[in-house]
Amino acid sequence: IKVKERKIETSKDEITRALGQLQEQYADYPPVKEKRGVRDNDWVTLDWQVFYKGKLLARGVEKDFTFQIGSLVFPPSFSQGLIGLKTGEKRSLEIQFPLNYPRKDFAGREITFEVTLKQIREKRVPPIDGKFVKNLKFDSLKSLRKHIKENIAKTKKNWEEKRLSSETVRKVVEDSKVDLPLSLVEGKVDERRSQLENRLKERETTLENYIKDQKLSEKELREKLKSEVEKDLKTYFVLEAIAEQEKIEVKEEEIKSPFMAMIKSKGRCIPSYMFPNIPGANSTDKG
């Protein structure tokens, strides 16, 4: 199987964009001292009470809520309604929420926010100068740009290696014939549907809302999940067959060691029934 490797190059534009991202990373958000109203892209801190048809909602009181004007946390009318508001001022906002809004007691309703503006913060991006470069522990802008270029090239190389590996696997799987038991496929589809439903519940929405948003029918959702399951199972069985044929083995310690390191770094307890042969299981290493 032949997969063509792509040439790795790093452009000046990519380096400039990376510098811009560094600036954003080190941006400051000082409070606005001048007596002005809220503008686009400001960060604001609010207290509010939330009402529906004159009744205060459960979880309807919020203190020191901070967000950026124009962000998608709320419908656009919420940000627009705060424009011009000054620190210490109050305002009443009537906001219509879409039917698919994650918070159920807001979804599809016109909600009244009684808002008090406590603070305005404005983003300030540091200039790319000698001070900025020294803060990043580099001697000069030239050495910083060189470091960025090397990192971009390294990242691209890793991406390309993963792409080549993924493309090779894809082609092997495509050319392989695997008969999947229907009961296995259907069981995995049910499992994925249940997992999807649980994830949606965590986001305070439902599978029904998800199906509507995706413009799918229940049957189409199941077909979509089935296609994903069949692809994953086929990939698994093909790779397992290759590993067996090529006598590729992963030692138990190679799986356990990184897992142990990760768990112990968090100060967690590892139950002995999970890894009975690992010294230190059922103990907590807090350093």
How far apart are alpha carbons 98 and 36 in whole angstroms? 32
Is the pLDDT score of 276 beyond 80?
no
Higher local confidence (pLDDT), 109 or 5: 109
Q: Could you give the maximum distance between any two Cα atoms of the chain, in Å?
A: 74
Is the pLDDT score of 197 beyond 70?
yes
The mean pLDDT value for 124-128 works out to: 94
What's the pLDDT score for residue 97?
95
CA geometry: angle 148, 154, 158, nearest 5 deg: 145
In the chain, the amino acid numbered 106 is: F
What's the pLDDT score for residue 25?
93
Is 181 strand, coil or helix?
coil
Closest by CA to 88, choosing from 120, 118, 122, 65, is 118
Higher local confidence (pLDDT), 249 or 16: 16
At residue 266 the predicted structure's pLDDT band, cuts being 50, 70 and 90, is very low
pLDDT in tens, 52-108: 999 999 999 999 999 999 998 899 999 999 999 999 999 999 999 999 898 999 999
Q: CATH code for 43-121?
A: 3.10.50.40
What's the pLDDT score for residue 250?
61
What's the pLDDT score for residue 178?
85
How far apart are alpha carbons 97 and 112 in whole angstroms? 11
Q: Give the rounded percent of residues in the chain with a pLDDT score beyond 90.
A: 65
Answer whether 117's CB lies under 8 Å from 89's CB. yes
Residue 91's φ and ψ, nearest 5 degrees, are: -155, 145
In the chain, the amino acid numbered 195 is: Q
How far apart are alpha carbons 245 and 79 in whole angstroms? 61
Is the pLDDT score of 282 beyond 60?
no
Is the pLDDT score of 283 beyond 70?
no
What's the pLDDT score for residue 258?
55
The mean pLDDT value for 144-158 works out to: 95
Lowest-pLDDT choice from 52-61, 184-193, 277-286: 277-286
**What DSSP character marks residue 7?**
P
The mean pLDDT value for 40-54 works out to: 96
**What DSSP character marks residue 22?**
H
At residue 260 the predicted structure's pLDDT band, cuts being 50, 70 and 90, is low
How far apart are alpha carbons 74 and 49 in whole angstroms? 15
pLDDT in tens, 28-42: 999 999 899 999 999
Give domain limits for the chain.
12-19+129-174, 43-121, 182-245, 251-287
Q: How many Cβ atoms are within 10 Å of 232's Cβ, its own excluded?
A: 12
Question: Which residues, listed in sequence order, are joined to residue 46 by a DSSP beta bridge?
Answer: 65, 117
Is the pLDDT score of 273 beyond 50?
no
Higher local confidence (pLDDT), 216 or 259: 216
The mean pLDDT value for 151-155 works out to: 95
Q: Give me 32's structure tokens.
A: 């606005």
Is the pLDDT score of 270 beyond 60?
no
pTM above 0.85, yes or no: no
What's the pLDDT score for residue 281?
42
Answer whether 160's CB lies under 8 Å from 6's CB. yes
Closest by CA to 37, choosing from 112, 88, 94, 93, is 88
Is the pLDDT score of 285 beyond 80?
no
